[in-house]
Amino acid sequence: MSIVIEKFGGTSVGSIERINKAAERVARTKSDGYDVVVVLSAMAGDTNRLIDLATQIHPNPDPRELDMAMSTGEQISIALLSMALNRDGCKAKSYTGSQIPIVTDKVHGKARVQRINSDRILKDLDDGYVVVIAGFQGITDCGEITTLGRGGSDTTAVALAAALEATECRIYTDVDGVMTADPRIVPGAQILERITAEEMLELSSSGAKVLQIRAVEFAYKYGVDLRVLSSFHDVAGTLISSKESNMEQPKITGIAYNVNEAKITVRGVPDRPGVASKVFGPIAEAHINVDMIIQNVGMDNNTDLTFTVDRSEYQKSLVLVEKIMPEIGAQELVSNGNIAKISLVGVGMRSHTGIATTMFSTLAAEGINIQMISTSEIKISVIVDEKYVELGVRALHTAFGLDDANVPKRETAPQQALQS
Ligand code: ADP
Ligand code: ASP
Ligand code: MG
């Protein structure tokens, strides 16, 4: 049995017309002789609408109840797509995450998939059905409904591909593939024919939301190859492979940005063992991810500790740090919610030098001040003022020769470019 997973994002099922189009594509894959498992997001805008309703009731809704609300969007799209398939003579059945079940841990709002029971899916495939599964959701061992974090349908698709040992995992979306930068802010961004899972991991973790980070982690861990394709045009898209290609790599594969981070600095902490663990212990216990960390010991032997967190966890982090300040003897807490991170990614960095210098001089030439820097083997990230993010990304895209020569440059990006 050769199983193909086909995942359609919110825009790709955003209207009845698009659902019909997705159904056509699925039916074509089925008639090509594959067993097809479909994973869907909620119709475009539905998850945001549900969150908006919840926050009108309470600014910080109870995470369990928020998951109950948020998970309903996908239940609608799976039912509609199954109806379309059945109407067109292609037998289909829809399932929520809890019906499969897709079992997760208990962390509401960003649960991790622990296991998937494939019995029901395999039985239906055997009986000739297309199985349509709600992305983004699961159930705990205690029967509580969870969600996997924004963009989590990608993770559902990859987890299913691993569990069912699928031949292919296709992620249909509203762009033609993974590009050298977000085409919404860099009009000259080019499609990448192929990218390593390691690079994709760095791009996703740096803010390129074309694939959810956990989906890429899963793919990397289980060696699942993914293809990101357009649901609107017949293009080959991008292959994300766990194997590296033998071809010579460009210096930089892609540029990502993230405007959803915030920076916290604890100043004047007496330099003693255990300070970092006292600050980050409570943050880890609250399941808050810390991104960059910088620690500096000044001339007076006091430490400044600066770190970044996701903006949605900024206030919570500030409260936790404020609580610990008297215990560690910290003098001051400084924070900034208006920062952005720009990251250059590429396995080519391993064999090319001078990339950091080009990055810093390009930003300096645009008058952009760098607030923090962090590097890994295949990534360099900088924190800058949020208002410079588009200018910085575009300047770097040009400086590293990534622009498509056929696309004219644009001076300003569309208004909603940075809104998610
Ligand atoms: P879906 O609803 O299909 O899951 P998303 O909105 O989550 O789609 O992801 C697709 C979007 O990701 C694109 O519209 C694009 O603006 C954005 N994006 C950011 N970085 C990149 C990149 N490097 N390549 C392609 N798209 C990107
Ligand atoms: N509907 C969810 C979201 O908007 C999950 C997804 O689209 O992948 O985040
Ligand atoms: Mg997505």
| pLDDT one-digit tens code per residue, 142-162 | 999 999 999 999 999 999 999
Q: Is 77 in the pocket of ligand 1 (CB under 6 A)?
A: no
Give the pLDDT band (50/70/90) at residue 123.
Answer: very high
Q: Any idea what the CATH number is for the domain that residue 393 is in? A: 3.30.2130.10
In this structure, of 103-117, 235-249, 335-349, the range with the lowest mean pLDDT score is: 235-249
Q: Are residues 17 and 137 in the same domain?
A: yes
- Tell me, using a 6 A CB cutoff, whether residue 259 lines ligand 1: no
CA distance 217 to 162: 12
Total structural domains in the chain? Answer: 2
pLDDT of residue 408: 64
pLDDT surpasses 70 at 418:
no
304 sits in which H/E element: strand 302-310
Q: Is the CB of 133 under 6 A from ligand 1?
A: no
Q: Is residue 92 part of a domain?
A: yes
Q: Are residues 159 and 260 in the same domain?
A: no
Domain boundary among 174, 190, 214: 174
Whether residue 164 is found in the same domain as residue 259: no
- Please list, in sequence order, all residues whose beta carbon lies within 8 angstroms of the beta carbon of residue 330, skipping any fewer than 6 positions away: 266, 267, 268, 269, 324
Within-domain flag for 185: no
The yes-or-no verdict on residue 189 having pLDDT over 50 is: yes
Tokens for 134, please give them.
Answer: 């709600």
Is the CB of residue 237 below 6 angstroms from any atom belonging to ligand 1? no
Host domain of residue 267: 255-399
Ligand 1 centroid to residue 179 C-alpha, Å? 9
Residue 89, classified by CB atoms within 10 Å of its CB into exposed (0-12), middle (13-18) or buried (19+), is: exposed
Classify residue 377 as exposed, middle or buried by CB count within 10 Å of its CB (0-12, 13-18, 19+). exposed
Asked if residue 387 and residue 287 are part of one domain, the reply reads yes
Is 270 a member of any domain? yes
Structural domain ending residue among the three candidates 133, 153, 174? 174
* Same structural domain, 162 and 48: yes
Residue 170: nearest ligand to its CA? 1
Based on the fold, state whether residues 18 and 114 are members of the same structural domain: yes
Instruction: Report the atom number in ligand 1 closest to the C-alpha of 151.
Output: 7
The Cα–Cα gap between 218 and 238 comes to 18
Atom of ligand 1 nearest to the CA of 153: 4
- The ligand 1 atom at the shortest distance from the C-alpha of residue 9 is 3
In this structure, is residue 208 part of a structural domain? no
| Position 205 in a domain | no
Give nearest CA residue, ligand 1 atom 10: 210
For residue 52, the domain's CATH number is: 3.40.1160.10
Q: Which of 7, 41, 173 to mutate to test the pocket of ligand 1 (most atoms within 8 A of CB)?
A: 173
Helices and strands per DSSP (H, E), number in the chain: 12, 20
Q: Counting atoms of ligand 1 from 1, which one is nearest the CA of 203?
A: 23
Identify the band that residue 419 occupies on the pLDDT scale cut at 50, 70 and 90: very low
Q: Do residues 8 and 148 both lie within one domain?
A: yes
Same structural domain, 163 and 306 = no
- Please write the tens of the pLDDT for every residue from 204-229: 999 999 999 999 999 999 999 899 99
Least confident segment among 54-63, 89-98, 243-252, 347-356: 243-252
Residue nearest atom 6 of ligand 2, based on CA coordinates: 151
**Residue 250's pLDDT band (cuts 50, 70, 90):** confident
End-to-end CA distance of the chain: 39
pLDDT at 129: 98
Same domain, yes or no: 299 and 164:
no
Q: Average pLDDT, stretch 31-41?
A: 97
> 375 exposed, middle or buried (CB, 10 Å; 0-12, 13-18, 19+)?
middle
Confidence of residue 404 (pLDDT cuts 50, 70, 90): confident
DSSP states along 155-212: HHHHHHHHHTT-SEEEEEESSSS-BSS-TTT-TT--B-SEEEHHHHHHHHHTT-TTS-
C-beta of 413 in contact with ligand 1 (< 6 A): no
Higher pLDDT, 417 or 230: 230
Q: Which atom of ligand 1 is nearest to the CA of 177?
A: 25
For the chain, give the mean pLDDT. Answer: 93
Report if residue 202 sits inside a domain.
no
Residues with CB under 6 A from ligand 2: 9-10, 41-42, 47, 73, 135-136, 150-154
User: Final residue of a domain: which of 148, 174, 200?
Assistant: 174
The pLDDT of residue 352 is: 85
Region 76-101: mean pLDDT is 98
Do 158 and 9 lie in one domain? The reply is yes
Beta strands of 16-90 (E only): which ranges? 35-40
Question: Are β-strands 137-139 and 145-147 bridged in parallel, bridged antiparallel, or unpaired?
Answer: antiparallel
Distance 175 CA to ligand 1 centre (A): 7
Does any domain span residue 339? yes
Query: Do 379 and 289 share a domain, yes or no?
Result: yes
Residue-wise pLDDT for 164-183, tens only, equals 999 999 999 999 999 999 99
| Residue in 9, 26, 381, 70 with CA at minimum distance from that of residue 228 | 9
In a domain, 166, yes or no: yes
pLDDT given at position 416:
44
